[in-house]
Amino acid sequence: MHIAQLVQSQRAYFAAGNTLDVAWRKGCLRKLEACIRASEEKICAAVARDLGKHPFETVETEIALVLEEIRFALRHLDGWARARRVRTPIAHFPSRSYIVPEPYGVCLILAPWNYPFQLAFSPLVGAVAAGNCVLLRGSSSAPHVADVMQDIARQCFAPEHVTVLGREVESSAAVWEARYDHIFFTGSVPVGKIVMAQAARHLTPVVLELGGKSPCIVARDCDVQIAARRILWGKCINAGQTCVAPDYCLVEAPVAQALLDAMKKELHHFYGDNPLESGDLARIVNEKQYRRLRALMQGMRIAAGGRMDDGALRIEPTLLMDCPLDAPIMQEEIFGPLLPVISVKSIAQALEIVAGYEKPLALYLFTADKALQRRIVRSVPFGGGCINDTVVHLATPHLPFGGVGYSGMGQYHGKRSFDCFSHPKSVLQKARHTDVMLRYPPYSEQKFRWLRRIMLR
């Protein structure tokens, strides 16, 4: 079916009220959960074909997170969907006020290639929980995962409710032939601008989950071994192709060499003598990205790693020492297993460097100093982050996930996923049996005195 026709069929399905019943939505989510569990091996195999990821990593960073989102929604959906009473000012007596979460209608979800299952189905859970119809498009760079997602959707949903587009869609232009009620996009800043421009044609609300250069600040009082291990784990999962991966490290000079030495040991512990042969390290998604990463390494001082396999599109985790801030690698999001480690004289210098970039999607801080933790959390803008760890803040449904400024707009995960795909409809219900005449003409001095007494008190 043509995309415009498909969207029209979804719009008719939504208008008929098919998605409004909360018990029905929960049934859809339970069916989705069962299908995902039954498809675990297929999902792992598809991710391995597209990205070379070990099944452990696929379960840990993709399948488990989606299942947790479903379980969380099932536990709380009745409360989320309920109308919420709020206070009413005395000027509106007698009446009551409440807020009704209303689904937008037909939503478009555009998913990226780096976590092709999780970053497609996590927002899908929120959209279905909120009562929407969904058109979901995965990335052409992860075609095998797109096939599996399409198969799961066909098992769980009517196409008028949820459709996952497959390889039959030749270009993104076809997607924009239709009008949507809400758009959810995960990807790069340049493409995010295109999505926002397309949405502006119909004043369609958007959520943009983008990226940026996420800093990792390491203070001199850190636990060096813990910091090295956790920073490298956050950097190396999915071969660094993670929107919240530590993009660069700013390390106070007294511990810079110790951290570097500890990182070298951890890399050997993770991947052995030859990381390029390790089944635990994912590959770069395609030739274009591989060439881009190779170019970023040119002229940089390599402290560890640096070897590449052109045929397999694999790059071993690479530590780069004291990269100049004007070098290309420090001017764009790396999105690969390359980690600049930059020695700084002080935390103040580190914060000056961070302030020179757009607001990051994530920030990581390694320190035992509570005052420093509070200072950075309160004074440095970033989407979200961790203290003494990396990446894991996105793995809890109790914390909203999203960017700020160039790193994105809007949030999801947990209840925020439901809110993201819902319009909070405000209703003031007035009593019929009593009508206060104060607001109606003709006006008088006595009415004016009462007005001022009530509304300007």
* H-helix or E-strand spanning residue 377: helix 370-379
Question: What is the reported pLDDT for 171?
Answer: 61
Intervals of the chain under pLDDT 50: none
- Please write the tens of the pLDDT for every residue from 41-53: 999 999 999 999 9
Whole-number Å distance between alpha carbons of 36 and 448: 65
- Contact predicate 45/173, CB 8 Å: no
Catalytic residue among 243, 249, 323, 420: 243
Question: What is the reported pLDDT for 304?
Answer: 96
Question: What is the reported pLDDT for 28?
Answer: 98
- For 115, residues 6+ apart whose C-beta sits below 8 A from its C-beta are 61, 62, 238, 242
Whether 420 sits among the annotated catalytic residues: the reply is: no
Question: What is the reported pLDDT for 287?
Answer: 97
Question: What is the reported pLDDT for 169?
Answer: 57
Catalytic residue among 209, 252, 316, 333: 209
Whether 156 sits among the annotated catalytic residues: the reply is: no
| Tokens 């601008």 found at | 193
- Contact predicate 42/97, CB 8 Å: no
Q: 3-state class of 8 per DSSP? A: helix
Instruction: Name the residue among 66, 406, 355, 49 with its Cα closest to residue 243.
Output: 406
Contacts 24+ apart (CB under 8 A), 86-91: 88/428, 90/454, 91/454, 91/455
Instruction: Name the residue among 260, 255, 241, 250 with its Cα closest to residue 354.
Output: 250
| Tokens 């969207």 found at | 7
- For 432, residues 6+ apart whose C-beta sits below 8 A from its C-beta are none
- For 261, residues 6+ apart whose C-beta sits below 8 A from its C-beta are none
Instruction: Name the residue among 320, 188, 314, 315 with its Cα closest to residue 247.
Output: 320
Question: What is the reported pLDDT for 416?
Answer: 98
- Please write the tens of the pLDDT for every residue from 353-406: 999 999 999 999 999 999 999 999 999 999 999 999 999 999 999 999 999 999
- Please write the tens of the pLDDT for every residue from 131-160: 999 999 999 999 999 999 999 999 999 999
Question: What is the reported pLDDT for 168?
Answer: 64
Rg (alpha carbons) of the chain, rounded to whole number: 25
DSSP 175-212: GGGS--SEEEEES-HHHHHHHHHHHHTTT--EEEE---
Number of C-alpha atoms within 13 angstroms, CB side, residue 392? 8
Predicted structure pTM score = 0.95
